[in-house]
Chain A
Amino acid sequence: MRRSLSAALAAGALAALTLSACVPSTPEAGGGGDAERLTIATTTDVVNFNPLVGNSRTDSWVTNLMYPHLTQIDAEGQRIPYLATEWGYNEDGTEATVTIRDDMTWTDGEPVTADDVVFTINAVAEEQFGVVAGLITALESAEAVSDTEVRFNLSRPDGTFLDSVGFWMPIVPEHVFSQAESVQEFANDSDWVSAGPYVLTEADRGQRYVMERVENFPLAPEGTPAVDEVVFQIYPDVNTEVLALRNGEVDVIGNVLPPSTAVSLQDAEGIELAQVPSLGWAHLQYNMEREPLDDVRVRRALAHSVDYEAIREVALQGFAESTGGSTLTPTLTEWYDDSIQEYPYDPAEARRLLEEAGVTDLSLDMIYDQADANISRWAPLVRDSAAEAGITINLQGLERNTYISHADERDFDIYAGSWAVMDNPPANFALAFGTDGFINYANVSDPELDALIQEANEALTVEEALEPTQEAARIIHDQVYDNVLYVETFNIAYSSDWTGFQPVPSELLGIVHPLSLSQVRPAG
């Protein structure tokens, strides 16, 4: 008995030792800059493999590499060809036509044709789901005129249609997705058939996603990407991602770095930072259905009570650009209007305006997402600079879902937040500042503005849309319908073993998008 008990204890101790001993490490994923594998760190899983449904960051990165869009954007945010080579409207704007490439194929050998485009948009229109459904309200019908030509018939002139559909709608293979009873409910979680530069071959939830390059991707300089395999590896948070990059476990951190982390990596050996501007902006919105915020003098007083420079230089550590207070940001160069000037930080002027409006002891609640590291850093600055002007701002850092629901119900005095992707000003203005716009958080209702926004939406070219859009932006600034603080400069870290990334605006695309990853190659 004694011997058997000792033996059992010894066995137990051995098991414990096995668990706690430092087991020799097996070959780690990634690192090294060889052309075999590029490892990208991310903090979230792919939630949904259906590109028309999924909307987490990792969902977009993975599915963007698989399903082509009609257009993509360049470093200036302008549309450039992807699947589509040409696009345009007829004279009265009721027909939009797109010509697509004839040399792209799905990974099972089937050609990518106009029928796939028609199938995709019809599925979204019929089942009404995902990002795209809200963008195609003008669509009446879609038809394939030939294998390479698609015609969209529109119920009204809509100059934002092609820009929006081109940017947001992934094209899915009809012969695969049509097998599902409902395209929306199709999980698409195995046997992937795609046409982008990489195809998903392995998905280990909670761990990693392995994608292999395709032999035929005509947009890559060599006709096929230079790297054999792209792997998305899951890490708990940005800090561990940075450690993994330093250790050489990963080659790219997909998530943008918080400003303080970016500063600490600026001079790190073997690490490069790609900088891309946001397509959105950070802002304060004042609820105009609440007194005295319906008075423009009060809103201007609030605009004069924000120390914009301090927010950009201190909270964002300089990784932020002023838009001049305009909702047309320098990121979209073709729309930008540099004649709009930021309200100077001037507490005395703020006090004067409040006095003129007859408002004393102004006390307001400001909601923000407490998990947003940037906003959590600048919210106290907004409060403190407002205090200089005699305005009391009560900070309400909320849990994310609570915050979203407050914003949705317009239950706040001041809303502090940021838009992630505002890719098309006329369309975005309609949503954010048009009466009844879905994200018109400030409750703006201005007939003159509505008319300008409508004019801009009906214009069929940027040249035609520019004047009404810039005029609308001027009104938004003048009336403080939105108080724009900055456009963030995102830092994306990667190993200097690699070169050839193509940075484009927004954290959604950054350097992890089809054009970039079909060109990246080992350095030297």
Chain B
Amino acid sequence: MIAGLRFIGLRVLRGLLTIWFAVTVTFFLLRLLPGDPVLAVADPTMTEALRQKLLADFGLDQPLSVQYVGYLGQLLQGNMGVSFRQSLPVTEVLMQRLPWTLILTGAAILVTVVLGVPLGVYAATRAKGFADRAIQIGGITAQSLFVPSVGILLLYVFGVVFGWFPIGGAVDPDATGFAATLSMLHHLVLPCLSLVFIQLGSYVLAMRSSLIEVLGEDYVALAKAKGVSPRAVVWKHALRNALLPTTTLVGLQLGTLVGGAVLTETIYAYPGIGRAVYESVGQLDFPVLQGAFVLLAVAVVVANLITDIVYGLLDPRVRTS
């Protein structure tokens, strides 16, 4: 019990350190960017006095160290500051966007797992056969694709050529009730598939190799010897143990997924955090960018933390190591 708490405590501490590191790197990286947020909002008629005033309004006239300490203090109180461009609290800006990103990434994880696990099992049970080879080649190829290429390809084929899916947006705002849900799913298909595409390979390959390994274990041989049907051996005896590495993969892949979401949302004009990041980069809106990165860092850290803890619960060896 105490070992368990210690394990969780250490993981949480490590998570907090990671977040602090991400916050710090983001803060200084943004300020290293060439360009000046004041000029990004400027227009030709801006006077020098006006410019100084804007700098002061943005808090950018202070030394970096003062800005940094101030920002950390703000963050600790849960205050992410006010957007340079929108005059709105960053929390409000991001909360309008967050649900869409959660829907997109959540659906992508769900579909990936639902498709990836059976495909991996299928390949593992036919190891070295034609289907296995095809799945492996497909998996490695999909893994190596660049999200925007997949996104644009899907958009072109299914949105433009066939016209089956909308070419942008998240929902038809005129639809209500059940029609709105359908419209949301309809808009979700292409961005979601783009993300599934780049992730699926890792899941299939991980599932395949871990299942092959488990299928070679003695207890599996014993089950077979006992006359358990091959199907039951795989699905009932082997799969549970083989699923462990796949669980970890969800946490590990979340970083990739979040990165992919930024690009996917941009391509499909999907109104999530990713699109907000893309827009804010052009506007040098530091508070929104910082807020978005903090949020994404927290999401990845928390997901990893949960995976670690769940894994620790599933496999006691991890806790003591």
Choose among B97, B167, B232, B268 the residue with the greatest number of A CB atoms under 10 Å from its CB. B167
Tell me if A206 and B86 are in contact (CB < 8 A).
no
Shortest Cβ distance from A369 into chain B, in angstroms? 11
Per-residue interface assignment for chain A, residues 175 to 212, with 1 indicating a CB less than 8 Å from any chain B CB and 0 otherwise: 00000000011110100000000000010111110100
Q: From A88-96, A355-363, A400-408, A445-453, give the one contacting chain B.
A: A400-408
Tell me if B45 and A235 are in contact (CB < 8 A).
no
Q: What are the residues of chain A within 8 A of B87 when measuring CB–CB?
A: 48, 50, 53, 184-187
User: Would you call A339 an interface residue if the criterion is a C-beta within 8 Å of the partner chain's C-beta atoms?
Assistant: no
User: Would you call A524 an interface residue if the criterion is a C-beta within 8 Å of the partner chain's C-beta atoms?
Assistant: no
Q: From B7-15, B65-73, B177-185, give the one contacting chain A.
A: B177-185
- Asked whether A207 and B53 contact (CB < 8 A) given A48-B87, A438-B45, the answer is no
User: Would you call B218 an interface residue if the criterion is a C-beta within 8 Å of the partner chain's C-beta atoms?
Assistant: no
Question: How long is the Cα–Cα vector from A25 to B173 in the complex, in angstroms?
Answer: 13
Shortest Cβ distance from B124 into chain A, in angstroms? 16
Tell me if A206 and B43 are in contact (CB < 8 A).
no
User: Would you call B34 an interface residue if the criterion is a C-beta within 8 Å of the partner chain's C-beta atoms?
Assistant: yes
Q: From A107-115, A126-134, A389-397, A474-482, give the one contacting chain B.
A: A126-134
The 8 Å CB contact of B46, one of A50, A189, A432, A438, is A438
Tell me if A207 and B170 are in contact (CB < 8 A).
yes
Tell me if B236 and A2 are in contact (CB < 8 A).
yes
Q: What are the residues of chain A within 8 A of B45 when measuring CB–CB?
A: 131, 133-135, 431, 438
Question: How long is the Cα–Cα vector from A27 to B171 in the complex, in angstroms?
Answer: 11
Question: How long is the Cα–Cα vector from A133 to B53 in the complex, in angstroms?
Answer: 12
Question: How long is the Cα–Cα vector from A20 to B43 in the complex, in angstroms?
Answer: 46
A residues contacting the other copy or chain, number (CB 8 A)? 66
Tell me if B188 and A208 are in contact (CB < 8 A).
no
User: Would you call A295 an interface residue if the criterion is a C-beta within 8 Å of the partner chain's C-beta atoms?
Assistant: no
Question: How long is the Cα–Cα vector from A5 to B243 in the complex, in angstroms?
Answer: 14
Nearest to A127 among chain B residues (CB) is B53
> Which residues in chain A, 95-150, are within 8 Å of chain B measured between CB atoms?
128-129, 131, 133-135, 137
Task: Give the number of A-B contacts (CB < 8 Å).
Answer: 179
Q: What are the residues of chain A within 8 A of B85 when measuring CB–CB?
A: 47-48
Question: How long is the Cα–Cα vector from A261 to B34 in the complex, in angstroms?
Answer: 32
Tell me if A187 and B86 are in contact (CB < 8 A).
yes
Q: What are the residues of chain A within 8 A of B107 when measuring CB–CB?
A: 19
Nearest to B282 among chain A residues (CB) is A400
Q: What are the residues of chain A within 8 A of B183 when measuring CB–CB?
A: 23, 25-26
Q: What are the residues of chain B within 8 A of A240 when measuring CB–CB?
A: 155, 167-168, 269
User: Would you call A270 an interface residue if the criterion is a C-beta within 8 Å of the partner chain's C-beta atoms?
Assistant: no
7 residue pairs from A and B, CB less than 8 Å apart: A19-B189, A55-B41, A135-B45, A189-B88, A206-B269, A404-B40, A405-B36
Chain A residues close to B by CB (< 8 Å)? 1-2, 5, 9, 12-13, 15-16, 18-20, 22-29, 44-45, 47-48, 50, 53, 55, 128-129, 131, 133-135, 137, 184-187, 189, 202, 204-208, 210, 233-236, 240, 243-244, 247, 399-402, 404-405, 408, 419, 428, 431-432, 438-439
Q: Which 7 interchain pairs have the tightest Cβ spacing?
A: A206-B271, A401-B35, A134-B45, A12-B114, A402-B34, A236-B269, A187-B87
